[in-house]
Amino acid sequence: MQEEKAHFKDVLPVAIVSWTGALLEWLDFYTYAILAKILANIYFPSHDPVASLLASFAALAVGFLFRPLGALMFGKIGDQFGRKVAFLTAVSMMMIGTLGIAALPGYATLGIIASIGIFVLRIIQGLALGGGYGAAITYLGEFTPDHQRGLITGFLFTTPAFGMAIAANLASALQSHFGIEAFNAYGWRWCFVIAGIIVFLVALIIHFLYKETPVFTALKQIRRVTSAPIKELFTNKHYLWLFILAWIGVIGAHGPIWYTNQLYIKFYANDLGVPAKLSNQLLAYATYAVLWTYLFFGWLSDKIGRRAVLLFGIYGNALLFPITFHLMKNYVNPPETTALFLLFAAGTFMNGIGYSGAMSAMLLELFPAKIRTTAIGFTYNMGYGVFGGLTPFMITLLFKVTGNHYFSVILWSTIVPMIMGLLYLFKGWETKGERLWEELSAGKFAHEALILPGNMSIGEAMNELQKKGHRVAIVNENGRYLGIVEERSLLKALVSGHTINTPLKEVKLEVDAVLDSARIIDAIVLIQENGVKGIAVVDKNGKILGYVDPRYVFNEVALITAGIKKPFTERIKVEEFMNRPFTVNDNVSVIEVAKLISEKEIGFLPVVSADTGKLVGVISEKDLMSILCCNIENKDKPIKEFMIKDVITVSPDSTLKETLEKFIDNKIRHLPVVRDNRVVGVVSVKDALKLI
């Protein structure tokens, strides 16, 4: 079996869907940021303009501060129920918050209730964005090929800047349409109306086009989905360290940088005397001009690694602020558009280095699949939502305390990020080369194999399987993989005319081996297609590394143990899921029983009395192996001489919980269902697992 490979053309539809959904979430969220000064007068009127703006920025910051909580809420949904459910729910929630702001009356009408209302709606937006963007990163990332992860996920990282630029352009266009006075009075509401309606339409499209990621699908198929991703993130010391490293050293360090370049610079320019409309336009056009950098530096990280790109994005950007913010005051009176544009563009260009596909790829490669949505969303939003989202508030607060606007910017946007980045500089490592499928590859689930030579006899092989406790053996000749044999295939060989001395190479099952790098779900499909109990795992040179057994892949013991604790198992009766039984009477010969097991492809048979028809014992294919490998003459003896007489049973009225307990306590996989000591059905572990 070949290793799974993805191509850009296969990922493109997925990228378009996730990019569009994420873009519109940012558009909704940042519309408030662009209109913060206007909304300060509408919802937080005050005789002190700085205090009023500070209150508006506080509402802006609340949206950011609630993003980590949203990441945990929707991260749990994404890791437990699927990335699609999480993202679609978050987008719908964003629409509610956005349209709510559009409809909320101002302070003049509702008084303090209006101020509280804007905080509540910003909280809703913050929760939605916190959950939706982490799900979007995980969703797109789990579709991308390993060698293009930085490039492709870099598309997604253009959405915050693009969303802010569109919000600025939308505000500018509507301001021109209504006029400044009318726009400040009521026209601003149309920014939220338009953004909210577009998100609603896109949410409908996503609902029909969105498909679940292959990684989550694999987790679900092999029953490795966790029901407590938040708990695992904070109680597992290794996961917690990964979170702290990414949060403080990378995302948190770049958060103040990004929001200074992409948001606060326009407020700084306004304070120096640049008209608000011009600063909005400068920021929008500077953003458009450098959007390619988000992709380019993502692509570069695919070539040279994530770490170097991210560190340059943090330190190069932070050290640029003392220069650009100092120079800006020389070009504001009167405004020199070209010079100001270059200063705006210098910052947005540097943003594209740190905040690029290098960052999304690093996050995807850092965390395991089962907690990936929660971990990425929480890490991202703790960094950008807390440290980044506080940027306008903190710089304004520092300005109010110090009276020096320039020093306030440098303190928060240069000094703080450089200190935080030291953690990644000294403790971080390169993640490029990590496969998102690695933890779900066949090699990760391979167990030590029983390898037998092709010239070994059936009888010897039966004996080896019994001694080692294996269900499957790999047949090998001169270092070359030939195929597999298993209990049932050896029994079939005996009942079809082969002798106990027949060499294995004549009766082997020619089932393809699976590469250790292949997806485990593909290995399971191969097992099911061939109707075998296991499959060989080899490296790219053909060396046998082990074998995959579905019992261990699906972690049956843990699942059954967990199922016992579920209340619904006490309500389900055995008669609801038992199967029609195949039975043999106790006078039938061993070889006839082996033939029946082989033909019906079952591993277990109840034995009933030829005289009374009542249950007197059970026999399994493993028991038959033990009987025949010791003495082939046993094949003509009646099965009653070898059957297991101490039989564990359940009744049709027994509960699923009681059945599961018997499977675990007695280490068995099949149970006869009896009424009045007569067999009326059989149940197996496989049947029970379908219910739990």
Q: In this predicted structure, what is the pLDDT of residue 355?
A: 87
User: Which residue is it, tokens 């610079």?
Assistant: 265
The one-character DSSP state at 647 is -
The answer, yes or no, to whether the previous bond of 368 is cis (omega within 30 of 0) is no
**Predicted structure pTM score:** 0.76
**Every domain range in the chain assigned CATH 3.10.580.10:** 442-553, 563-691
C-alpha–C-alpha distance, residues 194 and 171, integer Å: 11
Query: Residue 488: how many CB atoms within 10 A of its CB?
Result: 23
**Ranges of the chain whose pLDDT falls below 50:** 1-4
* CB-CB contact of 381 with 68 (8 Å): yes
Q: In this predicted structure, what is the pLDDT of residue 364?
A: 94
C-alpha–C-alpha distance, residues 184 and 96, integer Å: 23
Pick the CATH number of 8-440 from 1.20.1250.20, 3.40.190.10, 3.40.50.12780, 3.90.220.20: 1.20.1250.20
* Category of 497 on φ-ψ map: left (φ > 0), alpha (ψ -120 to 50) or beta: left
The domain 563-691 having CATH identifier 3.10.580.10: the answer here is: yes
* Termini Cα distance of the chain: 31
Q: In this predicted structure, what is the pLDDT of residue 9?
A: 60
The domain 442-553 having CATH identifier 3.40.50.980: the answer here is: no
User: Which residue is it, tokens 């400040």?
Assistant: 184
Q: In this predicted structure, what is the pLDDT of residue 210?
A: 64
**Every domain range in the chain assigned CATH 1.20.1250.20:** 8-440
> Computed over its alpha carbons, how large is the radius of gyration of the chain?
33
Q: In this predicted structure, what is the pLDDT of residue 206?
A: 66
Report which of 681, 678, 632, 636 is spatially closest to residue 659, judged by C-alpha positions. 681
The one-character DSSP state at 249 is I
Q: Tell me if residue 471 falls in helix, strand or coil.
A: coil
CA 2 remoteness from chain centre:
24
C-alpha–C-alpha distance, residues 42 and 31, integer Å: 15
C-alpha–C-alpha distance, residues 92 and 127, integer Å: 11
Q: In this predicted structure, what is the pLDDT of residue 48?
A: 60
Report which of 134, 158, 126, 388 is spatially closest to residue 261, judged by C-alpha positions. 388
Q: In this predicted structure, what is the pLDDT of residue 51?
A: 61
Report which of 127, 132, 128, 136 is spatially closest to residue 156, judged by C-alpha positions. 136
- Could you read off the pLDDT of 2-25 as tens digits, one per residue? 444 555 566 777 777 777 777 777
Q: In this predicted structure, what is the pLDDT of residue 142?
A: 84
Q: In this predicted structure, what is the pLDDT of residue 315?
A: 96
Q: In this predicted structure, what is the pLDDT of residue 56?
A: 66
DSSP 37-88: HHHHHHHS--SSHHHHHHHHHHHHHHHHHTHHHHHHHHHHHHHHT-HHHHHH
Q: In this predicted structure, what is the pLDDT of residue 1?
A: 45
User: Which residue is it, tokens 């913010």?
Assistant: 325
C-alpha–C-alpha distance, residues 689 and 171, integer Å: 56
* CB-CB contact of 25 with 94 (8 Å): yes
Which are the contacts of 592, defined by CB distance < 8 A and separation ≥ 6?
584
